[in-house]
Amino acid sequence: MSLVLGLETSCDETGIGIVRSGPDGAVLLADAIASSAPEHARYGGVVPEVASRAHVEAMLPTLERALATAGCSLADIDAVAVTGGPGLAGALLVGVAAAKALAAGLDKPLYGVHHLAAHVAVDTLEHGPLPDACVGLLVSGGHSSLVAVEDPAAPRVLGETVDDAAGEAFDKVARLLDLGFPGGPVVDRVAGDGNPLAIAFPRGKHDDGSYDFSFSGLKTAVARWLAAYPDARDVPVADVCASFQEAVADVLTAKAIRACQDFGYDTLVIGGGVAANSRLRGLAQTRCDAAGLRLRVPRPGLCTDNGAMVAALGAILVGRGATPSRLDMPARSTLPLPH
Ligand code: KG4
Ligand code: ZN
C-alpha cells in the first residue's frame, strides 16, 4: 500500500488530492480545492497572471487541508504526482515547482502526468480499475477530445474539436445570455426549466464520419438567434439553454458511442468539467444502455479539475512500477497526446 499525493494547477483550481493505492485499486482520502474562479468572473474568462498568483497563495493552505482530511503527515507520503501539462504555463509552473520541492525534500518519486489522462483516471476512485481498453470522452473548458484508452497514462487521440472546446461553448453562450462565468453550471441549471426541442440548433460535424467536434458554428447560431430579438427581455432563456445543451450532448454522445462500436470497446468513460452536465450524463446513459455499453462517469465534483485525479493517475503509475519523472521535468502548456 502506498499514499500518493496529487497536485493540479493547470488552470484556476489549486487541487491537492491524496489517495491510498493497494492491490484492489485506489481509495480517495482527501481532495482539497481552492478556486480562483470568483477572481476571474468579472473578466469573463481565466486571467493567467491572476491564476498563477492565486496558486502560490493557495498551495500551502490547500496542502495542509488535504493532509488534515486524510489524517496523515507529509512523512507518510510515498509518491508525488503533478500535472505537467497541458494548461496555463505560469499556473502549471506553480504546481510543478511545489511537487519537485516536495519530492526532493521527502526523497520520494515524482510523477508528471497529463491533465487529460488524469480526467479519465479519476474514475478509478469511484468505479474501480479501468478495463484493458475503453473509449474516453474528455470535455472541459480547454479540450474536447475523444480518446482510446489502452494506456491510462497516454490515451490516443481519435478526434478533437476543430475550434471551440465544449466548455468554452457553454461559457460563451452563457456570456451571450448574460448568465455569468463559468457558464456551464448555470446553463445546466437554467436549461432544467426549458424545452430541449424548442430550437433546432446545428450539430457541427455530426455526419462527417470523423471523430472530431466543432462548436463555434453552434455558438454563432445561438448569437444569431438571439440577435433576432429586439428586446432581450423577450428571449426564452431556458429554451435557448436547453436547446443549446441538447445539441452539445447529442454530438458528443453520438461520436463517443460510435468510437466504442468501431473499436469494439464496451466501456465509455466521460471526464472533464462538462462531464458534470446533467443532460450529457443522462443522454450518454440512455444511449449506452441502448447500445449495450458500460458508461462510467465520476460524480460531478471529480469531473471538474481537482488534485484527486492527478493522485489517481499517479497511483496507477506507482502500481505498475513506472519510471518516475526527473526532477528537472518541464511544465508544458502544450502537451499533445499520441494519435
Ligand atoms: O475540467 P475543467 O474544470 O477545467 C478545464 O480543464 O477546462 O472544466 C471547466 C469547464 C468550464 O467551461 C465550465 O463551464 C464547464 O467545464 N462546466 C460545465 C458544467 N460544469 C462545469 N459545462 C456544462 N455543464 C456543467 N454542469
Ligand atoms: Zn480539466
Question: Chain-wide mean pLDDT for the chain?
Answer: 96
Q: Which residues in the chain are classed under CATH 3.30.420.40?
A: 2-122+306-319, 132-300
Q: For residue range 165-201, what is the model confidence (pLDDT) as tens digits?
A: 999 999 999 999 999 888 999 999 999 999 999 999 9
Under DSSP, the state recorded for 161 is B
- Per-residue pLDDT tens over the stretch 143-156: 899 999 999 999 99
Q: What superfamily does domain 2-122+306-319 belong to in CATH?
A: ATPase, nucleotide binding domain (3.30.420.40)
Local confidence band at 94 (pLDDT 50, 70, 90 cut-offs): very high
Q: Is 276 in the pocket of ligand 1 (CB under 6 A)?
A: yes
The pLDDT confidence band at residue 22, using thresholds 50, 70 and 90, is: confident
Contact 153, 136 (CB under 8 A): no
Mean pLDDT to the nearest integer, 271-289? 97
What is the band of 204 on the pLDDT scale with cuts at 50, 70, 90?
confident
Of ligand 1's listed atoms, the one at least distance from the Cα of 87 is 6
Pocket test for ligand 1, best of 9, 114, 173, 304 (most atoms within 8 A of CB): 304
Does the beta carbon of 136 sit less than 6 angstroms from any atom of ligand 1?
A: no
- Does residue 44 register a pLDDT over 80? no
In a mutational test of the pocket of ligand 1, which residue from 116, 170, 333 has the highest number of ligand atoms less than 8 Å from its CB?
A: 170
| d(CA 273, ligand 2 centre) in Å | 6
Dist. CA 81–CA 84, nearest whole Å: 9
Predicted pLDDT of residue 201: 97
Distance from the CA of 198 to the center of ligand 2, in angstroms?
A: 31
pLDDT at 35 over 90: yes
- Identify residue 330 by its one-letter amino acid code: P
Write down the pLDDT at residue 41. Answer: 82
- Judge whether residue 137 has pLDDT over 80: yes
Ligand nearest to the CA of 143: 1
CA distance 263 to 216: 28
> Which residue is listed with cell 492527478?
310
Mean pLDDT of 207-214: 92
**Do 280 and 270 meet the contact criterion of CB atoms below 8 Å apart?**
yes
Which of the pair, 42 or 287, is modelled with greater confidence? 287
DSSP state of 34: E
Indicate if ligand 1 lies below 6 Å from the C-beta of 120.
Answer: no
42 pLDDT tier (thresholds 50, 70, 90): confident
Q: Is the CB of 182 under 6 A from ligand 1?
A: yes
Angle at 172 between CA 170 and CA 177, to 5 degrees: 95
Q: How far is the CA of 304 from the centre of ligand 2 (A)?
A: 6
Mean pLDDT on 217-244? 95
pLDDT the model gives residue 181: 82
- Residue 229, Cβ density class (10 Å: 0-12 exposed, 13-18 middle, ≥19 buried): exposed
Q: According to CATH, what is the number of the domain 132-300?
A: 3.30.420.40
